[in-house]
Chains A and B, each alone.
Chain A
Amino acid sequence: MSASFDAVVVGAGPGGIAAAAVAAEAGLRVCLLDDNATPGGQIWRGFNAQTARQYPHGSGFLHWTARLQRTDCEVWLGWQAIDRPAPGVIRLESNGEGRDIRYGKLILATGARERFLPFPGWTLPGVMGVGGLQALVKAGLNAQGKRVVVAGSGPLLLAVAAGLADADAQIVSIYEQARLIQLAGFGMTLLGQPGKLAEGAHYRLKTLNAPYRTGSWVTRVEGEGRVESVTVTDDRKKWKLACDWLACGFHLAPNLELPRLLGCRVAGGYIAVDPLQQSSAPGVACVGELTGIGGVEKSLVEGQIAGWAAAGREAEAHVLTPRLQRLQRFASRLDRAFALRAELRTLAAAETLVCRCEDVTHAALGGYASWREAKLHTRSGMGACQGRVCGPAAEFIFGWEYSGLRPPVFPASVSTLAAEVEVPGSAHP
């Protein structure tokens, strides 16, 4: 099966939905893709017409999904983009079925994942990401009565702790690795930013009855087959806490795999784009967390700009530039406020696994000069997640630059990979 569209948008979070809605409103034939079963991405996960109002970003979700629904945009859910088999063609897979889609313009809104760092015990069942645990609870996991330590870094810690408390979990404590002085500056800048998630979370924190400590981080997890306790430090003393779950993530890392495959240039950890969100790859725009971790507002504005640009309506796109510049400054402040402290580089012990897919220890990775060399000798980063977890960790711990991306960017069936390119107008029908 194959299809062809004026514009294809990959990722149905805020950036992707805004881009698809604007491009379709401007008259383009648009297809919006996502590998999840429902639209919304991570920030709008689990939102629907009934539930959205109870969330801080609910009104934006309702506005943009309503706009999208009024257009003829096709929305394909459960489809994972895995490869670019020919110029202007993206190969998708869903439940073992392959499909090629041809695009005039491509807008990538693949979002971000949590940055994870290895420490002793981090592979035990019951250790999860911060957003990860939130996603699981939204997907039906019963958190009632669970004692949860929330740790790591980023505004997500507060928002998720509040959400977990609403789900009747018992928040033991929240540990933010950044120093208070870094965050104090950030808190001031938040006041000038409407609709930011931390505002609501700060307020909710008062009702949480859980301590929020800055300059503190988890150093190890212990338990027989599952989490039983965590050890925390503030760099002066260490203490141990009993808990059932540890939610631990160190802010966010953009999902650069697909844009990298398409040749988009990366600078300073993000995709470099021009004021119309165009990357260095012709016809490929990137929006949202791909261009800087800035949250839902920045994603929505960038999505609209890319949507207008895809339709050739540059004047409309440029109207949004001043707003975007303000949100980009916010993104830079966010990166500075939650910059990772050097102590986190040495949390992993010699026997701690760094690569969870291939079970490669920290000791096994020592002594290599580059990510590529380490991969070749240890299989680190070559397992099922293709380095999505250990890659950003190794970059931080060892200072290795990312290299060696190959298609498919997600595991796919051999029949999908081997299929001929079959799209209308293809040079190789």
Chain B
Amino acid sequence: MRSEDFSITVNGRPMRVAQGTSVAAAMMMANEPCRFSVRQEARAPFCGMGICMECRATVNGVPQQRTCQLVCTPEMEVVTG
């Protein structure tokens, strides 16, 4: 681990990420879906650039965050939306 890495949690499980990592990238690396669709299908990042809304998740208690547009910060709590 490089010194600039830090810890976040994804669905309660801690993981370390490098500085500048987007929350969407972290969720993919944690193998956790971002959200469940109307039909309860697991969805993960798709467009990667903030337009498709598939990567919405709850970040630090705030629901419906576009995680691909959000950069991880230390101790961030990310939960599948």
The chain A residues found within 8 Å of chain B, CB to CB, are 35-37, 42, 45, 96, 113-114, 116, 123, 125-129, 131-137, 139-142, 225-226, 255, 356-359, 383-385, 388-389, 411
Contacts and interface: CB of A to CB of B under 8 A. Distances in A.
A141 B48 CA distance: 11
A263 to B, nearest CB: 22
Nearest to B20: A140
A140 B41 contact: no
Contact of A359 (B18, B22, B41): B41
A136 B54 contact: no
14 contacts: A35-B69, A37-B69, A37-B71, A42-B49, A123-B37, A135-B48, A136-B22, A136-B45, A136-B68, A140-B20, A141-B22, A141-B25, A141-B28, A356-B54
Contact of B64 (A358, A359, A411): A411
Contacts of B62: 96
Given A113-B51, A411-B64, 15 more contacts: A45-B49, A114-B47, A125-B42, A128-B45, A129-B48, A129-B49, A136-B22, A136-B25, A139-B68, A140-B26, A356-B37, A356-B54, A359-B41, A384-B56, A385-B51
A36 B69 contact: yes
Interface string B4-24: 000000000000011011101
A123 B43 contact: yes
B41 A132 contact: no
Q: Which secondary structure characterizes the binding site on chain B?
A: loop
Contacts of B52: 116, 356, 385, 388-389
Contacts of A42: 49
B76 to A, nearest CB: 13
Interface of B: 17-18, 20-22, 24-26, 28-29, 33, 37-39, 41-54, 56, 62, 64, 68-72
A142 B22 CA distance: 12
B39 A136 contact: no
B43 A389 contact: no
A127 B46 contact: yes
A119 to B, nearest CB: 14
Contacts of A140: 17-18, 20-22, 25-26, 72
Contact of B49 (A127, A135, A384): A135
A411 B20 CA distance: 25
Contact of B50 (A36, A134, A358): A36
Output the residue of A126, A128, A142 with the most chain B CB within 10 A: A128
B47 A113 contact: yes
Nearest to A386: B53
B24 A139 contact: yes
B38 A125 contact: no
Contacts of B26: 140
A139 B20 contact: yes
B64 A128 contact: no
Contacts of A134: 48
Given A37-B69, A131-B49, A356-B37, A142 B29 contact: yes
Given A113-B51, A134-B48, A383-B53, A359 B37 contact: yes
A126 B43 CA distance: 9
A367 to B, nearest CB: 21
A135 B46 contact: no
Contacts of A359: 37-39, 41
Contacts of A114: 47
A128 B47 CA distance: 6
Output the residue of A126, A140, A356, A383 with the most chain B CB within 10 A: A140
Contacts of A255: 51
Nearest to A388: B51
Contact of A385 (B38, B53, B71): B53
Contacts of B72: 140
B21 A132 contact: no
Q: Which 9 residue pairs across A and B have the least CB separation, nearest first?
A: A140-B21, A132-B48, A125-B44, A139-B22, A135-B48, A384-B53, A141-B25, A359-B38, A140-B25
A35 B48 CA distance: 13
Nearest to B70: A37
Given A136-B28, A356-B54, A128 B69 contact: no
Contact of B53 (A116, A135, A357): A357
Contacts of A383: 53
Contacts of A139: 20-22, 24-25, 48, 68, 71
